[in-house]
Amino acid sequence: MPVDAALAETWIERWERQQERYAVEREERFTVVADVVEQIAGDRERPLVADLGSGPGSLSARVAARLPHAEVVAVDIDPLLLGLGKALRPQVTRWVETLIGRPGWLDALALDRPLDAVVSSTALHYPPPETLLEIYRDLAGVMRPGAVLVNADHLVPEEPSLAELALAVERRCSQRRGGANSEDWSQWWDAAARIPEFAELLAARERQLPPSEGDGNGLSAARHADLLLRAGFRQAGPVWQYGTSAVLVALR
């Protein structure tokens, strides 16, 4: 069931505010991702970019705005979030409903050429390490030489003292911005459940979403980089970080 554009705008605005509660300097982080993609793929005639775990297309839309000549494919398993994005963000070329890492998941993307870039925001911390390694291997097989993977996520340092300091930096930033007073994830979904127009998509969401994997894999930037190198990427490492909020890149 298509979502009305005006309704989608209201709920995507609420989504953006809610997400700022969890991602320190979220807009700057998105800007860094777009900077990297533009640096690697901006000169190509029609770069192909996949956004993994796109939700309603927050990152997809920003990449598309930076590279209007790109083909941006938004990939997620959540029917409601995809429906909101489809209704409001025509600059995103295609929306694909599939679970990242499920056998055959890449077939759903219907790629007609190698990817120039893969981006993701706060999504790749969910798969366990062995699944994530296979996802990285899958991606390495469909990316052109020189392509880039850009992962923006919460990557906590492995050393306890550094982790404590990174989390403290985030907490102070959130306090200064009043982030703790904004709507949180659970409140957003509870409110969305009361919208009659969302009933069909929410029912589909209940059928589609896999069982919860808790707080995620807890991998540091160094562990992600190790998995990426094992998967066939030639270089990997962080290019930006604020507290635990980081942008990690890997070159194919």
pTM, rounded to two decimals: 0.94
Q: Which amino acid is at 100?
A: I
Task: Count CA atoms closer than 13 A to 117's CA, side-chain side.
Answer: 30
As a whole-number percent, the residues of the chain with pLDDT over 70 amount to: 96
- What is the per-residue pLDDT across 118-177, written as a single tens digit (0 to 9) for each? 999 999 999 999 999 999 999 999 999 999 999 999 999 999 999 899 889 888 887 887
* Contact (Cβ atoms closer than 8 angstroms) between residue 38 and residue 66: yes
Encode burial over 27-56: b for 16+ CB neighbours within 10 A, e otherwise. Answer: eebbebbbbbbbebbbeeeebbbbbbbbbb
Alpha-carbon gap, residue 67 to 46, rounded angstroms: 9
- What is the per-residue pLDDT across 179-205, written as a single tens digit (0 to 9) for each? 666 799 999 999 999 999 999 999 999
Best mean pLDDT range from 48-52, 177-181, 241-245: 48-52
DSSP state, residue 194: T
Mean confidence (pLDDT) of the chain: 93
Structure token pair of residue 152: 């923006």
